[in-house]
Structure 1
Amino acid sequence: MSTGTVTKPSAAPKGGGRRKLTLPWIMLIVAAGLLLFSLVRAVSGANDLTSVGQVSGALQLAVPIGLAGLGGLWAERAGVVNIGLEGMMVLGTWFGAWAGYQWGPWVGVLFGLLGGALGGLLHAIITVTFNVNHIVSGVAINILAVGFTQYLSNFTFAEADGGSSKQSPRIDQITKVTIPGLSDWLSDLQAKHWFFVSDLAGILGGLVTNLSLLTIVAVLLIPATWWVLWRTAFGLRLRSCGENPVAAESLGVNVYKYKYIAVTTSGALAGLGGAFLAIVATGIYQEGQTGGRGYIGLAAMIFGNWMPGGMALGAGLFGFTDSLKLRGGAENVHALLLLVAVLLVIAALWQLYKKKYVVGVISAAFSAGFFLWYALTDEVPSQFVDAAPYITTLLVLALSAQRLRMPKADGLPYRKGQGK
């Protein structure tokens, strides 16, 4: 008979526990980041750094990466590593464009989802049912997706008006939304280049100007994923499969079913990212247009510590640096050197405060190098401009590696009944 005893919650471990960020702290961090951007913009004179066009472009570039990262999060929270995100995005671009130019963009979005889901289902069959190494399966799907879409293009797009074996005919655009009045007011305020105020106006203006309806859907999928995986019984069961599948099975959870659902959903989200590239970002399918965004989405997910919010931040960071390259070229990336130098100073001070002297000194040395680079040059080489988004991704992953915690059973082989 149950005694009805309620145990007292244990205290947070001293020194080793991590406190959850509350909303006031998150807002304070965002405000501090915006203040830093405003300072860099004012010093460098790169006024496009936080302009409406810059933010709007960054959002559009971040969406496909964020969708791929969200797909990776679903799979890995269930214990399946999904290196095949790139291939599933490729399937999404092709199927989205193929249906989009014939029956309209929203049908293309649906087919992009289905194309990516088929890739996810194949990955689930190979890894969950046949227990093949997850990395091997993902690489095979990436290769297969490229060859498969090239083959299909030869007798579909090549025979269509306005198409060829390497690209599709033009696809109709999805409706874009701009909030009248508010968008113009924020653009005018941003153009005044006032400290902090204009930067805030530029960021808010980018979020209400020329916004595709599919972008809104994609952004809403981030809190939706958090709610499903962390606030529902279904999400608890799915995450238990990635932490301890043997224990989950002992409690009656059908581990295979949840892994299949998670990996198929993962593929569908990556496929949606591919469809976004073809339908919204370019309005046309082109061979090789994913450009490694599936891998970058995986990096964004790791940077975000397998959490939706952190993943979105990582995707936004890559989208922002990519947008800097496309809009302002050398001038904006040169201003980015100053931003990196200041961030490294903050990192050095924090490491010294935590008595991690070696890491602190190294951060300070790199900071001095970036300050000198910024002070002694007026622009950066074009090769560095092109590589800036990828270098940013590597730096962020390297600096955040110590705080990462992947699901315990992620990538580990599992057989039904192995705990008996």
Structure 2
Amino acid sequence: MSESPGHVVIAPDKFKGSLTGAEVAAHVAAGLGPDVATVAMPVADGGDGTVDAVVACGFERVEVEVTGPVGEPVRAAYAWRDAPDTPTAVIELAEASGLRRLPAAEGASAAQADPSAHGGVRLAALTATSHGTGELIAHAVRRGAKRIVLGLGGSASTDGGTGMMRALGVRFLDAGGEELPPGGAALRALEKIDASGLLDVAGVEFVVACDVDNPLLGPNGAAAVYGPQKGASPGDVKLLDGALARLAAVAAHTHGLVGAIEHDGVVRPMGVAAQPGAGAAGGTGFAALAFLRADIRPGIEYLLDLLGFRERLDGARLVVTGEGSLDEQTLRGKAPAGVARAAAGAGVPVVAVCGRRTLGNEELNAAGIRAAYALTDIESDPERRMAEAGPLLERVAAKLAADWL
């Protein structure tokens, strides 16, 4: 695919809390001016905003009512491309099972007084479920998907993906043969996994698009690293890590999904549980690997390939990428770093726009980003930066154009 010679590819992630990736691209294009040919291609790394980015690049939005993280119905969407050879669905866990799908706390006073409430929502670290994500997968499979790309990030749950698998027909049973209640804490009582009712996914390729490399268990695992963000206390983290260990051990012992070793009388799950990415999204990566035989791919790199980013570089003179905050996380596989790596192969320079930055020029240059333009350069008031992000971004883009075009 070849675009007009000398065009600028605008490939930003969202500015969280203020602008979607598509809105960022539109404001940058406006700031560059009417005489600059642009190609807008919002991007995402598999986390929150992935469906919006993929839809902006030509996929169809499919909306479904599913189960939210604490059991209430929510309206969630996935992206669909009806390709003749490989019909593809892009499913973002955060759409159905994310923190943003939690019900609101009852007023600011509740959010301040209740330790399970945070950021205006009521957290449910021990009981939240990934069930709705499984319902999205089931809907896509029944629609005829032959490839399902599962973006992991922003989850409200630490249930090891068991909610997702319940929605696909797997049963998680206690010693009496009863179904366990939702959530990660309940897995402490897990005795048997019955996958005889698993939805027929033969012939469906599952790809996990993920930018984290955490294993399922331990100090770098799902509960320890991400549990506190979901309202888990230190005691809750210990409980959840033990519950996830129980899940992995039962999967090994009764279902043969992962290997295990016994040392000093303690069964320690190995294999899938130790794989990088198994701890993603509260352990949903583990379930995708173990039950759906998914491949885990670096989120931004896989999605850039899926959307044809490299083809858009043909004849380009500049790439503008960005996200809300250019910081240490950017360097660990986030969208701007992935865009810069991909553009480097084509010899196209990359600059970035952002709300704020904590990275120095040397760090940015090492990541392949030649320059960064932040809203903080022209507006010091954080409330105004959020409220007026679009117009401020157009001013920043005009400065970028003067420097590079």
Higher relative contact order, structure no. (Cα contacts within 8 Å, ≥ 6 residues apart): 1
Q: Could you say which structure has the higher helix fraction?
A: 1
> Structure 1 or 2: larger strand share?
2
TM-score over 0.5 (shorter chain): no
The two structures have a TM-score, normalised by structure 1, of 0.28
